[in-house]
A and B are shown apart, each in its own frame.
Chain A
Amino acid sequence: MNDFDIVPLVPEIFMAMMGMGFLLVGVLQGNRATSVLIWASCVMLFITAVLTMNFDWDRPPTMNAMFILDEFAGSMKLIILLGLIASLALSNEYLQQERIARFEYPVIMIFAGIGMMLMVSATNMLSLYMALELQSLSLYVLAAFYRNSLKSAEAASKYFILGALSSGMLLFGISLIYGYSGSIDFATIKTSISGLEQIPPGFIVGMVFLLAGLAFKISAVPFHMWTPDVYQGAPSSVTAFFAIVPKVAAMGLLMRLCLDVFEPATEQWQQILYFLAVASLIVGSFAAIAQDNLKRLMAYSSIGNMGYILIGLVVASPEGAGAVLYFLLIYVFMTAGVFAIILTMRRDGLATVSIGDLAGLSQNNPILAYAMAILMFSLSGIPPLAGFFGKLFIFRAAIEQEFYILAVIGLLASVVAAYYYLRIVKVMFFDEPADKFDNIMGFERRAVLLISTAFVIGYIFAPSLVFDFAMSAVSSLFL
């Protein structure tokens, strides 16, 4: 092995070391160290982000061509770290209030983060699978973190069983691809199918299984059944984490596979993702209408948003891929803001999550109500907020590549979705006020809400900043 170069992996190694160190501190200090450890983890993740930024993002694959740090991986890692910091910051106060503040929480989240960061830089089926499992295993534990709640246990066991099933499908797909090409290395797989007149059926079946396994991870319809239950059952701070970060990593993996490795088989995977995109858009928008639980609503909202993101991927152009990354970044900001508000909804010390509880929030707590309204407007894609631009670039990319039907379905779905986003605004501003919330909002949650709303509003003043970031990130996928 001539490429034994650990430099591109230094951020992950640093995270792993610090995670183990934090665990040691936790073991010695007990659960009262949780709050300090969460803060320390945020600082540590920030340092990791700085480390990641300081490396040269243009390296050949390393460690026997297992991992790569290119423009795409680097940018995705920054988004993942951002989401991790946001969800850790959101967790702190909630864990104390629910009395589930155990010191393992930040540690497991850090390890999930390592898995996700390695996922987006994997260039080998083996490293892909290992990173995916590291991530999934940590997520299963987090879903069950509220041990005394039956719902949480149910959510975790559902997630675990379906997750194991999807991993099985993924592995079966990998084995078929290996059976055809004789390699698990991405570059070799790509050369083994490039220049063929017809992609062999065995390879296509393998690819279908692989994509089905990954579709589960991004909860695209028809592999979405677990999402509402898991989102509802898991502790709210974990739900926030689930909604914000793992989707970004799985999407990064899917983008690298489709746009780079399976590039010679574009026609074949386009059909699959086309179907996934349309189904996710339809289910995501229509099923959310009947929801009364905000966490379930956010679950369907994330399914719908995956539909938009898949449109950007299906078009298989640099513009589409750029739009995907761009949408993901905006989605991270918006979701973090919404969950900052959901986590603040407590009455008499108990968490409430139904939409009816928001009634008349504009009179009880106008600042919270206006922030929520802005985020909901942004999620439904109303200009000039950030969410509008995310959808705009996705649709523009689809129309450029003449995917007119897909763009029309996407537009119609966003009209339907606007109904349930705006219903929340209506409930907050025009319904009879319900009892007041406790209005306890710690510094971290205020900061997350402030940054996310500021981003959503202020985005219009410097749109090219994010857009250039996204476009330069995907440039390494289209060489």
Chain B
Amino acid sequence: MLVQAFAFYLFAGILVLSALMVITARNPVHSVLFLILGFFNSSGLFVLLGAEFIGMIMVIVYVGAVAVLFLFVVMMLDIDFANLRQGAMQYVPVGIIIGGILLFELVALYTSWHFAPDIAGNLDVPDSGFAEVTNTEALGLVLYTKYVAAFQLAGLILFVAMVGAIVLTHRVRPGVRRQKVSVQQARSPDDVLEIVKVAPKTGV
């Protein structure tokens, strides 16, 4: 128990600190690296909760793909972040006031929270019955059965995203020489090669 509490405070503390560093670091590359640190710590928190699948997905998707993408963008595009951030400080007081109000409201809400009386019976996927299987197995048991419609719909959304990305970025440029495999393969040596016998010391 003590180990768990220690691990929680370790992960949570580093997470909050690194989140703070993401928005305060001067160098954008440092920001992204702190972001990655934050992702790792939050995945540690998920593992502590017993949600190991989400924890691993967190590392694979956010660290492996999203953060690395950020890093590439930051390094490839020469964006002057210091310049972008100029003048942002004048919004800090307003931001703190609004954030404070929101925080106060949410704290008030959560401290007075109560659940529906029959909440245990309402759960779409009952809590029991998954004790002996792993997270991944439990997700697999419902993802392709109960939630197959939503799963297919997610596929459609990704499809639209793909088509949309191509529509918005793909341009047909004139004069681009493309590789034509069929033409390449249809070439025969007889058409394009000429073998010339050159006698020594005569030249062609």
Interfacial residues, chain A to chain B (CB-CB below 8 A): 1, 9, 16, 20, 23, 63-64, 66-67, 102, 104, 107-108, 111, 114, 118, 126-127, 130-131, 133-134, 137-138, 140-141, 144-145, 147, 179-185, 188, 192-193, 200-202, 205
Contact = CB atoms under 8 A, between A and B. Distances in A.
Interface stretch (B8-16, B113-121, B182-190): B113-121
Nearest to B120: A182
9 contacts: A16-B156, A63-B149, A108-B164, A130-B154, A137-B160, A138-B164, A182-B123, A193-B116, A201-B109
A306 B124 CA distance: 35
B163 A134 contact: no
Contact of A111 (B116, B118, B120, B156): B156
Which 10 residue pairs of A and B lie closest in terms of their CB atoms, listed nearest first?
Answer: A141-B164, A182-B119, A182-B122, A63-B149, A183-B122, A192-B116, A130-B153, A64-B146, A104-B167, A66-B149
A188 B168 CA distance: 42
Contacts of A179: 113, 115
A206 to B, nearest CB: 10
Contacts of B105: 205
A241 B134 CA distance: 47
A131 B152 CA distance: 11
Interface string B92-121: 000000000000010001001111101110
Contacts of B160: 108, 111, 134, 137-138, 141
Given A126-B147, A130-B154, A131-B153, 20 more contacts: A67-B149, A104-B167, A111-B159, A111-B160, A111-B163, A114-B156, A127-B149, A127-B150, A133-B157, A137-B157, A137-B160, A137-B164, A144-B168, A147-B168, A180-B115, A180-B116, A182-B123, A188-B122, A201-B112, A202-B109
A253 B44 CA distance: 39
Contacts of B166: 104
Contacts of A118: 153
B145 interface: yes
Contacts of B164: 108, 137-138, 140-141
B153 A202 contact: no
**Overall SS of chain A's interface:** helix
Nearest to B121: A182
A238 to B, nearest CB: 13
Contacts of A9: 149
B122 to A, nearest CB: 4
A118 B153 CA distance: 10
Contact of A145 (B122, B148, B156, B167): B167
Contacts of B167: 102, 104, 108, 141, 145
B39 to A, nearest CB: 19
B156 A134 contact: yes
B104 to A, nearest CB: 13
B7 interface: no
A449 to B, nearest CB: 29
